[in-house]
A and B are shown apart, each in its own frame.
Chain A
Protein backbone atom coordinates (compact mmCIF):
# COMPACT_ATOMS: atom_id res chain seq x y z
CA UNK A 1 0.00 0.00 0.00
CA UNK A 2 1.01 3.62 -0.37
CA UNK A 3 1.66 5.66 2.73
CA UNK A 4 3.19 8.94 3.77
CA UNK A 5 6.56 8.24 5.38
CA UNK A 6 8.70 10.51 7.58
CA UNK A 7 12.29 10.89 6.35
CA UNK A 8 13.61 13.40 8.90
CA UNK A 9 12.77 17.00 9.80
CA UNK A 10 10.99 18.81 6.94
CA UNK A 11 11.17 15.70 4.73
CA UNK A 12 8.46 13.21 3.88
CA UNK A 13 7.64 11.04 0.90
CA UNK A 14 5.07 8.53 -0.23
CA UNK A 15 6.37 4.97 -0.16
CA UNK A 16 5.12 1.46 -0.66
CA UNK A 17 4.74 -0.09 2.80
CA UNK A 18 3.50 -3.52 3.85
CA UNK A 19 -0.24 -3.72 4.41
CA UNK A 20 -1.10 -3.32 8.08
CA UNK A 21 -2.05 -6.60 9.76
CA UNK A 22 -4.43 -7.64 12.48
CA UNK A 23 -2.01 -7.67 15.43
CA UNK A 24 -4.59 -8.20 18.17
CA UNK A 25 -8.00 -9.89 18.17
CA UNK A 26 -9.84 -6.59 18.58
CA UNK A 27 -8.05 -4.83 15.71
CA UNK A 28 -9.60 -3.68 12.47
CA UNK A 29 -7.96 -2.67 9.22
CA UNK A 30 -9.54 0.44 7.72
CA UNK A 31 -9.21 1.54 4.09
CA UNK A 32 -8.71 5.28 4.49
CA UNK A 33 -10.83 7.48 2.26
CA UNK A 34 -10.05 10.91 3.69
CA UNK A 35 -7.44 12.04 6.16
CA UNK A 36 -6.31 15.49 7.27
CA UNK A 37 -3.10 17.22 8.18
CA UNK A 38 -3.39 18.64 11.69
CA UNK A 39 -1.44 21.59 13.04
CA UNK A 40 0.09 19.27 15.60
CA UNK A 41 1.43 17.06 12.79
CA UNK A 42 3.75 19.96 12.10
CA UNK A 43 5.48 19.39 15.45
CA UNK A 44 6.45 15.95 14.14
CA UNK A 45 7.29 17.28 10.69
CA UNK A 46 9.63 19.85 12.23
CA UNK A 47 11.36 17.24 14.40
CA UNK A 48 10.06 18.61 17.70
CA UNK A 49 8.43 15.49 19.09
CA UNK A 50 10.90 13.02 20.63
CA UNK A 51 11.05 9.48 19.28
CA UNK A 52 9.69 10.28 15.83
CA UNK A 53 11.28 7.49 13.82
CA UNK A 54 12.20 7.32 10.18
CA UNK A 55 9.58 5.30 8.37
CA UNK A 56 6.71 6.40 10.61
CA UNK A 57 3.41 7.30 8.94
CA UNK A 58 1.64 10.33 10.39
CA UNK A 59 -2.05 11.14 10.47
CA UNK A 60 -4.44 11.02 13.40
CA UNK A 61 -7.47 12.52 11.65
CA UNK A 62 -9.01 10.03 9.23
CA UNK A 63 -12.14 8.22 8.17
CA UNK A 64 -12.56 5.18 5.97
CA UNK A 65 -14.22 1.86 5.26
CA UNK A 66 -13.64 -1.26 7.34
CA UNK A 67 -11.61 -3.72 5.29
CA UNK A 68 -11.01 -6.49 7.83
CA UNK A 69 -11.79 -7.16 11.49
CA UNK A 70 -10.13 -9.32 14.12
CA UNK A 71 -11.91 -12.32 15.67
CA UNK A 72 -13.16 -10.51 18.80
CA UNK A 73 -14.61 -7.46 17.03
CA UNK A 74 -18.38 -7.24 17.53
CA UNK A 75 -19.50 -3.68 16.90
CA UNK A 76 -18.28 -2.97 13.37
CA UNK A 77 -17.97 -5.15 10.27
CA UNK A 78 -16.35 -5.16 6.85
CA UNK A 79 -17.85 -2.46 4.63
CA UNK A 80 -18.90 -0.08 7.43
CA UNK A 81 -17.97 3.59 6.94
CA UNK A 82 -16.25 4.59 10.14
CA UNK A 83 -14.79 7.66 11.78
CA UNK A 84 -11.91 7.03 14.15
CA UNK A 85 -11.05 9.28 17.09
CA UNK A 86 -7.42 10.34 17.18
CA UNK A 87 -6.97 8.63 20.55
CA UNK A 88 -6.23 4.93 20.75
CA UNK A 89 -7.81 3.56 23.92
CA UNK A 90 -8.80 0.24 25.47
CA UNK A 91 -12.05 1.15 27.20
CA UNK A 92 -11.28 -0.89 30.31
CA UNK A 93 -8.28 0.51 32.21
CA UNK A 94 -8.53 2.70 35.31
CA UNK A 95 -8.63 5.86 33.20
CA UNK A 96 -10.94 4.68 30.42
CA UNK A 97 -13.37 3.41 33.04
CA UNK A 98 -13.58 7.01 34.28
CA UNK A 99 -14.10 8.57 30.86
CA UNK A 100 -10.51 9.74 30.49
CA UNK A 101 -10.13 8.01 27.13
CA UNK A 102 -7.27 10.18 25.97
CA UNK A 103 -5.32 9.08 29.05
CA UNK A 104 -5.65 5.33 28.47
CA UNK A 105 -2.98 3.30 30.27
CA UNK A 106 -3.13 0.13 28.17
CA UNK A 107 -2.00 1.29 24.75
CA UNK A 108 1.22 3.26 25.07
CA UNK A 109 4.20 1.41 26.50
CA UNK A 110 6.57 4.27 25.64
CA UNK A 111 5.18 6.83 28.07
CA UNK A 112 2.75 7.27 30.93
CA UNK A 113 2.57 11.05 30.59
CA UNK A 114 0.58 10.83 27.38
CA UNK A 115 -1.89 8.35 25.95
CA UNK A 116 -1.72 6.82 22.50
CA UNK A 117 -2.37 8.69 19.27
CA UNK A 118 -2.35 7.41 15.71
CA UNK A 119 0.69 8.48 13.71
CA UNK A 120 2.19 10.62 16.42
CA UNK A 121 5.63 9.15 17.13
CA UNK A 122 6.63 6.41 19.52
CA UNK A 123 6.15 8.78 22.42
CA UNK A 124 2.45 8.17 21.87
CA UNK A 125 2.71 4.43 21.29
CA UNK A 126 4.28 3.90 17.86
CA UNK A 127 1.05 3.44 15.91
CA UNK A 128 1.13 4.23 12.22
CA UNK A 129 -1.35 6.88 11.19
CA UNK A 130 -4.01 7.37 8.59
CA UNK A 131 -2.18 9.38 5.94
CA UNK A 132 -2.02 6.12 4.04
CA UNK A 133 -4.24 3.84 2.02
CA UNK A 134 -4.82 1.50 4.96
CA UNK A 135 -4.37 1.74 8.72
CA UNK A 136 -4.54 -0.60 11.68
CA UNK A 137 -7.20 0.45 14.21
CA UNK A 138 -6.75 -1.18 17.63
CA UNK A 139 -9.75 -1.71 19.92
CA UNK A 140 -12.16 -1.48 17.04
CA UNK A 141 -15.10 -2.08 19.37
CA UNK A 142 -14.20 0.96 21.46
CA UNK A 143 -12.85 3.84 19.36
CA UNK A 144 -14.48 3.98 15.92
CA UNK A 145 -18.09 4.90 15.24
CA UNK A 146 -20.14 4.22 12.14
CA UNK A 147 -20.65 7.46 10.21
CA UNK A 148 -24.36 8.30 10.11
CA UNK A 149 -25.84 8.33 6.61
CA UNK A 150 -26.78 12.00 6.91
CA UNK A 151 -23.27 13.10 7.79
CA UNK A 152 -20.96 14.62 5.18
CA UNK A 153 -17.64 12.78 4.91
CA UNK A 154 -15.61 15.96 5.35
CA UNK A 155 -17.57 16.86 8.47
CA UNK A 156 -16.85 13.36 9.79
CA UNK A 157 -13.09 13.63 9.32
CA UNK A 158 -13.08 16.99 11.10
CA UNK A 159 -14.91 15.42 14.02
CA UNK A 160 -12.04 12.98 14.61
CA UNK A 161 -9.95 15.73 16.19
CA UNK A 162 -10.18 19.39 15.16
CA UNK A 163 -13.83 20.10 15.87
CA UNK A 164 -13.97 17.87 18.93
CA UNK A 165 -10.83 19.55 20.27
CA UNK A 166 -12.09 23.08 19.63
CA UNK A 167 -15.35 22.29 21.38
CA UNK A 168 -13.47 20.61 24.24
CA UNK A 169 -11.23 23.67 24.55
CA UNK A 170 -14.26 25.90 25.05
CA UNK A 171 -15.64 23.38 27.51
CA UNK A 172 -12.41 23.37 29.53
CA UNK A 173 -12.83 27.14 29.86
CA UNK A 174 -15.91 26.55 32.03
CA UNK A 175 -17.61 29.42 30.22
CA UNK A 176 -20.58 31.03 31.94
CA UNK A 177 -23.16 33.35 30.39
CA UNK A 178 -21.72 36.65 29.28
CA UNK A 179 -18.06 35.67 29.67
CA UNK A 180 -15.40 37.32 27.56
CA UNK A 181 -13.44 34.56 25.86
CA UNK A 182 -10.17 35.18 24.09
CA UNK A 183 -8.89 32.49 21.76
CA UNK A 184 -5.22 32.43 20.77
CA UNK A 185 -4.83 30.98 17.29
CA UNK A 186 -7.19 31.12 14.32
CA UNK A 187 -6.27 27.72 12.97
CA UNK A 188 -8.93 25.02 12.78
CA UNK A 189 -9.01 24.31 16.52
CA UNK A 190 -9.12 28.01 17.40
CA UNK A 191 -11.92 28.65 14.93
CA UNK A 192 -13.96 25.78 16.33
CA UNK A 193 -13.22 26.85 19.92
CA UNK A 194 -14.47 30.36 19.15
CA UNK A 195 -17.61 29.01 17.51
CA UNK A 196 -18.21 26.66 20.43
CA UNK A 197 -17.74 29.43 23.00
CA UNK A 198 -20.93 31.06 21.71
CA UNK A 199 -22.86 27.80 22.12
CA UNK A 200 -21.79 27.82 25.76
CA UNK A 201 -23.09 31.33 26.28
CA UNK A 202 -20.09 33.61 25.82
CA UNK A 203 -20.93 37.29 25.65
CA UNK A 204 -17.85 38.27 23.72
CA UNK A 205 -15.46 36.15 21.69
CA UNK A 206 -12.08 37.48 20.59
CA UNK A 207 -9.66 35.65 18.30
CA UNK A 208 -5.97 36.53 18.02
CA UNK A 209 -3.64 35.53 15.22
CA UNK A 210 -1.11 37.11 12.88
CA UNK A 211 -2.46 35.87 9.56
CA UNK A 212 -5.12 38.13 8.13
CA UNK A 213 -6.81 35.41 6.05
CA UNK A 214 -7.30 33.30 9.16
CA UNK A 215 -8.68 36.26 11.09
CA UNK A 216 -11.12 36.88 8.24
CA UNK A 217 -12.31 33.29 8.71
CA UNK A 218 -12.66 33.93 12.43
CA UNK A 219 -14.94 36.86 11.65
CA UNK A 220 -17.09 35.09 9.07
CA UNK A 221 -17.12 31.51 10.35
CA UNK A 222 -16.98 32.14 14.09
CA UNK A 223 -18.52 35.67 14.25
CA UNK A 224 -15.63 36.72 16.48
CA UNK A 225 -13.87 40.00 17.07
CA UNK A 226 -10.32 39.75 15.84
CA UNK A 227 -6.95 41.21 16.69
CA UNK A 228 -3.85 40.80 14.55
CA UNK A 229 -1.07 40.75 17.12
CA UNK A 230 1.45 41.87 14.53
CA UNK A 231 -0.27 45.26 14.57
CA UNK A 232 0.25 45.87 18.28
CA UNK A 233 3.35 46.49 20.34
CA UNK A 234 2.01 44.25 23.09
CA UNK A 235 -1.06 42.14 22.49
CA UNK A 236 -1.46 41.42 26.20
CA UNK A 237 -1.75 45.12 27.00
CA UNK A 238 -4.23 45.45 24.15
CA UNK A 239 -6.32 42.64 25.64
CA UNK A 240 -6.33 44.47 28.96
CA UNK A 241 -7.38 47.70 27.27
CA UNK A 242 -10.24 46.07 25.38
CA UNK A 243 -11.56 44.43 28.54
CA UNK A 244 -11.55 47.61 30.65
CA UNK A 245 -8.27 46.49 32.20
CA UNK A 246 -10.00 43.52 33.79
CA UNK A 247 -8.73 40.81 31.45
CA UNK A 248 -10.71 38.11 29.71
CA UNK A 249 -12.68 35.67 31.84
CA UNK A 250 -11.42 32.73 29.80
CA UNK A 251 -8.37 32.34 27.57
CA UNK A 252 -7.99 29.40 25.24
CA UNK A 253 -4.57 28.44 23.88
CA UNK A 254 -5.32 26.83 20.52
CA UNK A 255 -1.79 27.27 19.22
CA UNK A 256 0.59 24.96 21.05
CA UNK A 257 4.29 24.51 20.63
CA UNK A 258 4.82 26.33 17.34
CA UNK A 259 3.67 29.76 18.44
CA UNK A 260 4.98 32.78 16.58
CA UNK A 261 5.48 36.18 18.05
CA UNK A 262 8.64 36.06 20.08
CA UNK A 263 11.84 35.68 18.14
CA UNK A 264 13.88 34.36 21.05
CA UNK A 265 11.31 31.71 21.94
CA UNK A 266 11.01 30.73 18.30
CA UNK A 267 14.74 30.24 17.91
CA UNK A 268 15.33 28.43 21.20
CA UNK A 269 12.12 26.44 21.07
CA UNK A 270 11.09 25.49 17.59
CA UNK A 271 14.34 26.00 15.67
CA UNK A 272 17.10 24.84 18.00
CA UNK A 273 14.76 22.61 20.04
CA UNK A 274 16.31 23.67 23.33
CA UNK A 275 12.86 23.69 24.92
CA UNK A 276 9.59 21.99 24.16
CA UNK A 277 8.59 24.43 21.46
CA UNK A 278 7.66 28.07 21.84
CA UNK A 279 5.22 28.73 24.71
CA UNK A 280 4.43 32.29 23.58
CA UNK A 281 0.71 31.64 23.13
CA UNK A 282 0.39 29.95 26.50
CA UNK A 283 2.18 32.82 28.21
CA UNK A 284 -0.02 35.35 26.45
CA UNK A 285 -3.07 33.38 27.59
CA UNK A 286 -1.85 33.44 31.20
CA UNK A 287 -1.17 37.17 30.98
CA UNK A 288 -4.40 38.12 29.19
CA UNK A 289 -6.88 36.37 31.41
CA UNK A 290 -8.28 38.13 34.46
CA UNK A 291 -7.27 37.23 37.97
CA UNK A 292 -9.23 34.18 39.05
CA UNK A 293 -9.92 33.35 35.40
CA UNK A 294 -9.48 30.12 33.50
CA UNK A 295 -6.87 29.18 30.93
CA UNK A 296 -7.76 26.27 28.70
CA UNK A 297 -4.96 24.62 26.77
CA UNK A 298 -5.73 22.44 23.77
CA UNK A 299 -2.80 23.50 21.60
CA UNK A 300 -0.40 20.58 21.42
CA UNK A 301 2.77 20.61 23.52
CA UNK A 302 5.33 17.85 23.72
CA UNK A 303 6.89 16.39 26.86
CA UNK A 304 10.06 18.49 26.95
CA UNK A 305 10.33 21.34 29.45
CA UNK A 306 9.12 24.79 28.36
CA UNK A 307 9.62 28.21 29.93
CA UNK A 308 6.02 28.79 31.02
CA UNK A 309 5.09 31.71 33.28
CA UNK A 310 3.85 29.61 36.11
CA UNK A 311 4.48 32.29 38.72
CA UNK A 312 1.98 34.59 37.04
CA UNK A 313 -0.56 31.79 36.97
CA UNK A 314 -0.02 31.21 40.67
CA UNK A 315 -0.16 34.84 41.67
CA UNK A 316 -3.29 35.50 39.61
CA UNK A 317 -5.08 32.50 41.08
CA UNK A 318 -5.79 31.01 37.69
CA UNK A 319 -7.42 27.75 36.91
CA UNK A 320 -5.40 25.94 34.26
CA UNK A 321 -7.26 23.18 32.46
CA UNK A 322 -5.93 21.02 29.68
CA UNK A 323 -5.92 17.57 28.18
CA UNK A 324 -5.91 15.71 24.95
CA UNK A 325 -9.55 15.53 23.92
CA UNK A 326 -11.58 12.45 24.79
CA UNK A 327 -13.04 12.69 21.30
CA UNK A 328 -15.75 10.08 21.35
CA UNK A 329 -17.25 11.60 24.46
CA UNK A 330 -17.95 14.79 22.51
CA UNK A 331 -19.55 13.16 19.49
CA UNK A 332 -23.24 12.77 20.44
CA UNK A 333 -23.54 16.46 21.29
CA UNK A 334 -21.57 17.56 18.23
CA UNK A 335 -23.73 15.36 15.99
CA UNK A 336 -26.76 17.24 17.34
CA UNK A 337 -25.17 20.62 16.71
CA UNK A 338 -24.31 19.69 13.12
CA UNK A 339 -27.81 18.38 12.48
CA UNK A 340 -29.30 21.56 13.93
CA UNK A 341 -27.10 23.69 11.73
CA UNK A 342 -25.22 25.30 14.61
CA UNK A 343 -21.90 23.93 13.34
CA UNK A 344 -20.79 23.39 9.75
CA UNK A 345 -17.31 21.92 10.17
CA UNK A 346 -16.16 21.71 6.57
CA UNK A 347 -16.61 25.44 6.04
CA UNK A 348 -12.96 25.78 7.05
CA UNK A 349 -11.55 23.26 4.55
CA UNK A 350 -9.38 25.07 2.04
CA UNK A 351 -7.46 22.34 0.22
CA UNK A 352 -8.04 18.76 -0.92
CA UNK A 353 -4.79 17.04 -1.84
CA UNK A 354 -4.13 13.57 -3.29
CA UNK A 355 -1.99 11.36 -1.06
CA UNK A 356 0.69 11.35 -3.75
CA UNK A 357 1.17 15.12 -3.29
CA UNK A 358 1.30 15.09 0.50
CA UNK A 359 4.86 16.46 0.73
CA UNK A 360 3.71 19.62 -0.97
CA UNK A 361 0.65 19.65 1.26
CA UNK A 362 2.83 19.62 4.37
CA UNK A 363 5.04 22.38 3.09
CA UNK A 364 2.05 24.49 2.11
CA UNK A 365 0.41 24.01 5.52
CA UNK A 366 3.64 24.55 7.43
CA UNK A 367 4.61 27.68 5.52
CA UNK A 368 0.98 28.88 5.42
CA UNK A 369 0.95 29.32 1.67
CA UNK A 370 -2.13 29.86 -0.46
CA UNK A 371 -4.36 30.95 2.46
CA UNK A 372 -4.31 27.39 3.74
CA UNK A 373 -6.43 26.75 6.84
CA UNK A 374 -7.30 23.06 6.70
CA UNK A 375 -5.94 20.63 4.10
CA UNK A 376 -7.57 17.25 3.59
CA UNK A 377 -5.75 14.28 2.10
CA UNK A 378 -7.62 12.10 -0.34
CA UNK A 379 -6.19 8.62 0.21
CA UNK A 380 -8.67 6.39 -1.62
CA UNK A 381 -11.26 8.37 -3.58
CA UNK A 382 -14.64 6.92 -2.54
Chain B
Protein backbone atom coordinates (compact mmCIF):
# COMPACT_ATOMS: atom_id res chain seq x y z
CA UNK B 1 0.00 0.00 0.00
CA UNK B 2 1.26 3.49 -0.79
CA UNK B 3 2.85 5.11 2.24
CA UNK B 4 2.31 8.71 1.17
CA UNK B 5 -0.91 10.68 1.09
CA UNK B 6 -4.19 10.01 2.83
CA UNK B 7 -5.44 6.46 2.83
CA UNK B 8 -8.71 4.83 3.63
CA UNK B 9 -10.93 5.60 5.48
CA UNK B 10 -9.95 9.20 4.68
CA UNK B 11 -10.39 8.48 0.98
CA UNK B 12 -13.14 6.48 -0.65
CA UNK B 13 -11.55 3.28 -1.82
CA UNK B 14 -10.86 0.35 0.39
CA UNK B 15 -7.33 -1.04 0.04
CA UNK B 16 -7.29 -4.13 -2.13
CA UNK B 17 -4.70 -6.09 -0.22
CA UNK B 18 -6.81 -9.19 0.17
CA UNK B 19 -6.00 -12.27 -1.90
CA UNK B 20 -7.81 -12.81 -5.18
CA UNK B 21 -10.81 -15.11 -5.36
CA UNK B 22 -8.67 -17.68 -7.18
CA UNK B 23 -6.02 -17.62 -4.46
CA UNK B 24 -8.63 -17.96 -1.75
CA UNK B 25 -10.35 -20.80 -3.59
CA UNK B 26 -7.05 -22.63 -3.90
CA UNK B 27 -6.26 -22.23 -0.22
CA UNK B 28 -9.70 -22.78 1.31
CA UNK B 29 -11.88 -25.68 0.14
CA UNK B 30 -15.33 -24.38 -0.68
CA UNK B 31 -14.40 -20.70 -0.62
CA UNK B 32 -17.28 -18.66 -1.99
CA UNK B 33 -19.77 -21.51 -2.52
CA UNK B 34 -22.34 -19.52 -0.55
CA UNK B 35 -21.37 -16.20 -2.07
CA UNK B 36 -24.89 -15.43 -3.23
CA UNK B 37 -26.72 -14.11 -0.19
CA UNK B 38 -30.07 -14.91 -1.74
CA UNK B 39 -29.11 -18.57 -1.85
CA UNK B 40 -28.30 -18.90 1.85
CA UNK B 41 -30.63 -21.07 3.97
CA UNK B 42 -32.12 -18.34 6.13
CA UNK B 43 -32.66 -15.83 3.32
CA UNK B 44 -35.09 -14.21 3.45
CA UNK B 45 -35.46 -14.26 7.19
CA UNK B 46 -39.20 -14.78 7.05
CA UNK B 47 -40.79 -17.03 4.46
CA UNK B 48 -44.49 -17.80 4.77
CA UNK B 49 -44.59 -21.52 4.10
CA UNK B 50 -46.62 -23.35 6.75
CA UNK B 51 -46.88 -26.49 4.60
CA UNK B 52 -43.17 -27.19 4.73
CA UNK B 53 -42.64 -27.73 8.43
CA UNK B 54 -43.94 -31.26 8.92
CA UNK B 55 -46.84 -30.06 11.08
CA UNK B 56 -50.14 -31.77 10.20
CA UNK B 57 -52.33 -29.62 12.43
CA UNK B 58 -53.47 -26.00 12.42
CA UNK B 59 -53.29 -25.83 16.16
CA UNK B 60 -51.66 -28.66 18.13
CA UNK B 61 -53.63 -30.82 20.48
CA UNK B 62 -53.29 -29.50 24.03
CA UNK B 63 -51.02 -31.38 26.41
CA UNK B 64 -52.75 -32.62 29.58
CA UNK B 65 -51.59 -31.47 33.01
CA UNK B 66 -52.15 -27.78 32.39
CA UNK B 67 -53.75 -26.99 35.75
CA UNK B 68 -51.62 -24.69 37.87
CA UNK B 69 -48.83 -24.47 35.30
CA UNK B 70 -47.14 -21.07 35.58
CA UNK B 71 -46.95 -18.87 32.51
CA UNK B 72 -45.72 -15.49 31.42
CA UNK B 73 -48.42 -12.83 31.59
CA UNK B 74 -47.26 -11.79 28.12
CA UNK B 75 -48.88 -14.96 26.81
CA UNK B 76 -52.58 -14.76 26.03
CA UNK B 77 -53.01 -18.40 27.02
CA UNK B 78 -51.02 -21.37 28.20
CA UNK B 79 -49.14 -22.83 25.25
CA UNK B 80 -50.47 -26.16 23.96
CA UNK B 81 -47.19 -27.93 24.76
CA UNK B 82 -44.81 -27.31 27.65
CA UNK B 83 -41.98 -28.85 29.62
CA UNK B 84 -42.55 -30.90 32.74
CA UNK B 85 -39.09 -30.92 34.25
CA UNK B 86 -39.43 -29.43 37.71
CA UNK B 87 -42.85 -28.18 38.85
CA UNK B 88 -43.07 -25.33 41.34
CA UNK B 89 -42.81 -26.38 44.98
CA UNK B 90 -42.13 -24.98 48.43
CA UNK B 91 -40.83 -21.51 49.21
CA UNK B 92 -38.88 -21.24 45.96
CA UNK B 93 -42.07 -22.15 44.10
CA UNK B 94 -43.96 -19.34 45.83
CA UNK B 95 -41.24 -16.84 44.91
CA UNK B 96 -41.24 -18.00 41.33
CA UNK B 97 -45.03 -17.93 41.06
CA UNK B 98 -44.94 -14.36 42.37
CA UNK B 99 -42.29 -13.49 39.77
CA UNK B 100 -44.67 -14.60 37.03
CA UNK B 101 -47.03 -11.78 38.04
CA UNK B 102 -44.59 -9.37 36.42
CA UNK B 103 -44.05 -8.95 32.70
CA UNK B 104 -40.84 -10.00 31.01
CA UNK B 105 -39.85 -6.37 30.55
CA UNK B 106 -39.60 -5.85 34.30
CA UNK B 107 -36.39 -6.41 36.22
CA UNK B 108 -38.50 -7.65 39.14
CA UNK B 109 -39.57 -10.67 37.10
CA UNK B 110 -36.06 -11.90 36.40
CA UNK B 111 -34.51 -10.92 39.73
CA UNK B 112 -37.27 -12.71 41.65
CA UNK B 113 -36.68 -15.78 39.51
CA UNK B 114 -32.98 -15.65 40.33
CA UNK B 115 -33.87 -15.31 44.02
CA UNK B 116 -36.13 -18.33 43.64
CA UNK B 117 -33.21 -20.22 42.10
CA UNK B 118 -30.96 -19.47 45.07
CA UNK B 119 -33.66 -20.42 47.59
CA UNK B 120 -34.29 -23.62 45.61
CA UNK B 121 -30.57 -24.48 45.71
CA UNK B 122 -30.25 -23.80 49.44
CA UNK B 123 -33.41 -25.78 50.17
CA UNK B 124 -32.33 -28.72 48.01
CA UNK B 125 -28.98 -28.74 49.76
CA UNK B 126 -30.65 -28.92 53.18
CA UNK B 127 -33.10 -31.58 52.02
CA UNK B 128 -30.25 -33.67 50.63
CA UNK B 129 -29.07 -34.28 54.21
CA UNK B 130 -32.56 -35.27 55.37
CA UNK B 131 -32.93 -37.71 52.49
CA UNK B 132 -29.56 -39.25 53.36
CA UNK B 133 -28.03 -38.39 50.03
CA UNK B 134 -26.11 -35.25 50.93
CA UNK B 135 -24.63 -33.05 48.26
CA UNK B 136 -21.01 -33.93 47.80
CA UNK B 137 -18.89 -30.87 47.00
CA UNK B 138 -16.05 -33.05 45.73
CA UNK B 139 -17.92 -35.11 43.17
CA UNK B 140 -20.63 -32.60 42.23
CA UNK B 141 -18.34 -29.69 41.45
CA UNK B 142 -16.11 -31.92 39.32
CA UNK B 143 -13.12 -30.48 41.11
CA UNK B 144 -11.28 -33.80 40.83
CA UNK B 145 -10.73 -32.99 37.18
CA UNK B 146 -8.23 -30.37 38.38
CA UNK B 147 -5.88 -33.26 39.14
CA UNK B 148 -6.86 -35.47 36.24
CA UNK B 149 -7.04 -32.87 33.48
CA UNK B 150 -3.95 -30.71 33.93
CA UNK B 151 -5.58 -28.14 36.18
CA UNK B 152 -2.38 -26.29 36.99
CA UNK B 153 -0.73 -26.52 33.58
CA UNK B 154 -3.92 -25.31 31.91
CA UNK B 155 -3.91 -22.10 33.91
CA UNK B 156 -0.43 -20.85 34.46
CA UNK B 157 2.29 -19.63 32.15
CA UNK B 158 -0.25 -19.07 29.38
CA UNK B 159 -1.33 -15.46 30.01
CA UNK B 160 -4.93 -16.54 30.46
CA UNK B 161 -6.90 -13.46 31.37
CA UNK B 162 -9.61 -15.37 33.20
CA UNK B 163 -7.09 -16.36 35.87
CA UNK B 164 -7.36 -12.74 37.00
CA UNK B 165 -10.87 -13.21 38.28
CA UNK B 166 -10.88 -16.86 39.30
CA UNK B 167 -9.89 -15.99 42.84
CA UNK B 168 -13.39 -14.70 43.39
CA UNK B 169 -15.05 -18.02 42.51
CA UNK B 170 -14.57 -19.64 45.94
CA UNK B 171 -15.96 -16.48 47.55
CA UNK B 172 -19.05 -16.48 45.33
CA UNK B 173 -19.59 -20.21 45.80
CA UNK B 174 -18.71 -20.58 49.47
CA UNK B 175 -19.49 -17.02 50.60
CA UNK B 176 -23.25 -17.48 51.09
CA UNK B 177 -22.63 -20.65 53.10
CA UNK B 178 -20.10 -18.93 55.31
CA UNK B 179 -22.45 -15.97 55.78
CA UNK B 180 -25.35 -18.30 56.57
CA UNK B 181 -23.24 -20.25 59.07
CA UNK B 182 -22.07 -17.04 60.71
CA UNK B 183 -25.66 -15.81 60.89
CA UNK B 184 -26.76 -19.09 62.45
CA UNK B 185 -24.00 -18.92 65.06
CA UNK B 186 -24.88 -15.32 65.94
CA UNK B 187 -28.56 -16.20 66.12
CA UNK B 188 -28.00 -19.17 68.41
CA UNK B 189 -25.68 -17.12 70.60
CA UNK B 190 -28.28 -14.37 70.91
CA UNK B 191 -30.96 -16.89 71.90
CA UNK B 192 -28.67 -18.52 74.47
CA UNK B 193 -27.79 -15.13 75.97
CA UNK B 194 -31.44 -14.16 76.28
CA UNK B 195 -32.16 -17.49 77.92
CA UNK B 196 -29.52 -16.82 80.59
CA UNK B 197 -30.96 -13.44 81.55
Contacts and interface: CB of A to CB of B under 8 A. Distances in A.
Contact of A54 (B42, B57, B86): B86
A222 to B, nearest CB: 9
A2 interface: no
A337 B40 CA distance: 12
- Interface pairs A-B: 10 shortest CB-CB: A363-B142, A342-B30, A126-B83, A91-B55, A8-B121, A91-B53, A203-B18, A127-B83, A50-B113, A53-B86
A11 B137 contact: yes
B107 A305 contact: yes
B124 A7 contact: yes
A341 interface: yes
Interface string B124-161: 11001000000111011111111011110011001111
Contacts of B61: 24-26, 72
A352 interface: no
11 contacts: A7-B121, A8-B124, A8-B125, A13-B136, A90-B55, A99-B46, A108-B79, A171-B41, A211-B160, A261-B161, A273-B114
A199 B161 contact: no
Nearest to B53: A91
B165 A266 contact: yes
Contacts of A52: 117
Given A23-B65, A171-B41, A203-B18, A244 B165 contact: no
Interface string A59-91: 000000000000010110000000000001011
B6 to A, nearest CB: 11
A340 B30 CA distance: 8
A367 B121 contact: no
Nearest to B64: A23
Interface string A200-235: 110110000011100000000001000011110000
B121 to A, nearest CB: 3
Contacts of B121: 7-9, 47, 54
Interface stretch (A154-162, A308-316, A327-335): A327-335
A55 B125 CA distance: 12
Interface of A: 7-13, 23-26, 47, 50-57, 72, 74-75, 88, 90-92, 96-101, 105-113, 116, 122-123, 125-128, 136, 138-139, 141-142, 168, 171, 174-178, 180, 196, 198-201, 203-204, 210-212, 223, 228-231, 244-246, 260-261, 263, 266-267, 271-273, 290, 303-305, 326, 329-330, 332-333, 337, 340-343, 359-364, 367-372
Contact of B85 (A106, A122, A360): A122
B14 A246 contact: yes
A128 B87 CA distance: 12
Q: Which of A116, A198, A231 has the most CB of B within 10 A?
A: A198
A260 B161 contact: yes
Nearest to A210: B161
Report which residue of B15, B45, B85 has the largest number of chain A beta carbons within 10 angstroms of its beta carbon: B85
A369 B55 contact: no
Given A10-B141, A91-B54, 9 more contacts: A9-B121, A126-B86, A244-B9, A245-B9, A266-B162, A267-B168, A337-B33, A363-B145, A367-B146
Nearest to A21: B84
B117 A359 contact: no
Given A51-B96, A228-B159, A142 B55 contact: yes
Dominant SS among interface residues on chain A? loop
Contacts of A200: 32, 34-35, 37, 40
B60 interface: yes
Contacts of B65: 23
Looking at chain B's contact residues, is the secondary structure mostly helix, strand, loop, or mixed?
Answer: loop
Interface in B61-111: 61, 63-65, 69-72, 74-75, 78-86, 92, 96, 99-100, 104, 107, 110-111
Contacts of B78: 109
B3 interface: no
Interface in B30-52: 30-35, 37, 40-43, 45-50
Nearest to B57: A92
A256 B56 CA distance: 36
B4 interface: no
B197 interface: no
B18 A204 contact: yes
B191 interface: no
Contacts of A101: 53
A96 B50 contact: yes
A326 B41 CA distance: 10
Nearest to B32: A201
A264 to B, nearest CB: 10
A267 B110 contact: no
Given A23-B65, A90-B60, A203-B18, A360 B70 contact: no
